[in-house]
Amino acid sequence: MNVLIVDDEPLARQEIRRLLGRYSQLDSISEAADGAEALALLQEQEFQVVFVDIRMPEMDGIELVASAGNRSLFVFCTAYSQHALEAFDLNAFDYLLKPVNPNRLDQVMAKVDLALSGKSYHGQQEQEKASTADILPENHGFLLKFGHDYRIVRLQDVLRFEALGNHVVVHLEKEKSYIQSSLSRLEAKLDDSHFLKASRSDVVRIDAICKVEEGMNPGSLMVQLSNGQSVDVSRRQAQYLKKQFSI
């Protein structure tokens, strides 16, 4: 098993390398000081597991995971709280909180072994997928990037989710950010009493709708949100919206 450690702090890389030295299944341990260096290594060599920090200069951990694809199992190593990490909704395999707890690392490595051996991990994945289908509360926090900074944004402040490739654009009143997820996966977690699936590419907050008009296509509608954005509503979803607003 080849492992890559990505962190801009030499001491942090040294500590994780020390802890990983306890595992006989590891064939090699490589290091990178930032996301760009890690991405270059990932293109040259196959790594089964990548332990990556989130906050790094230039390309950070979130951007690295988004750019690298699914060739490796990514484990976030970060000082962020568990609540914030659960808000990422990224294709990360698991996470470790700094300072790394050896017992927690044992759990992650056991999970890695299962994933790479292809044993009971698939059944475990199905259970995890089922658990993620739980409806998110309105105070759920998404950890979003704005420029060079991260902020926790509550679900109640989101006006619109828009599909964009393998990302979802999160629209707020005056700004927007991105998360790596499919819209359908995210939609499954949203309360349909608060959100409306306008089309295959848009989900809007019902309370944010301030104007409803006839759409360009027969039977469709167009809604205007409180931030001034206009969103098309498919003919199928328009029927539900008309009932919602007694149109």
pLDDT of the chain along its 247 residues, tens only?
999 999 999 999 999 999 999 999 999 999 999 989 999 999 999 999 999 998 888 787 878 887 787 678 999 888 766 544 554 555 578 888 888 999 999 999 999 998 888 754 444 444 444 444 468 888 887 878 888 788 888 899 999 999 998 789 999 999 999 987 788 888 888 998 899 999 999 999 999 999 998 888 888 899 999 999 999 999 888 888 887 776 6
In this structure, are residues 220 and 238 in contact, taking their beta carbons and an 8 Å threshold?
Answer: yes
Question: What per-residue confidence (pLDDT) applies to 81?
Answer: 60
Q: Is residue 41 within 8 Å of 4, Cβ to Cβ? A: yes
Per-residue confidence (pLDDT) for residue 130, from 0 to 100: 40
Query: Are 84 and 143 a contacting pair, CB within 8 Å?
Result: yes
Query: All domains of the chain, ordered by start, with CATH?
Result: 2-131 (3.40.50.2300), 141-244 (2.40.50.1020)
pTM as predicted:
0.56
In three-state secondary structure terms, 236 is helix
Say if strands 160-164 and 202-205 run parallel, antiparallel, or are unpaired.
Answer: antiparallel
Residue 128, φ and ψ in degrees, nearest 5? -70, -40
3-state secondary structure 208-225: HEEEEEECCCCCCEEEEE
Measured in residues, the chain has a length of 247
Q: Which of 102, 101, 181 is nearest to 136 (CA)?
A: 181
pLDDT of residue 122: 43
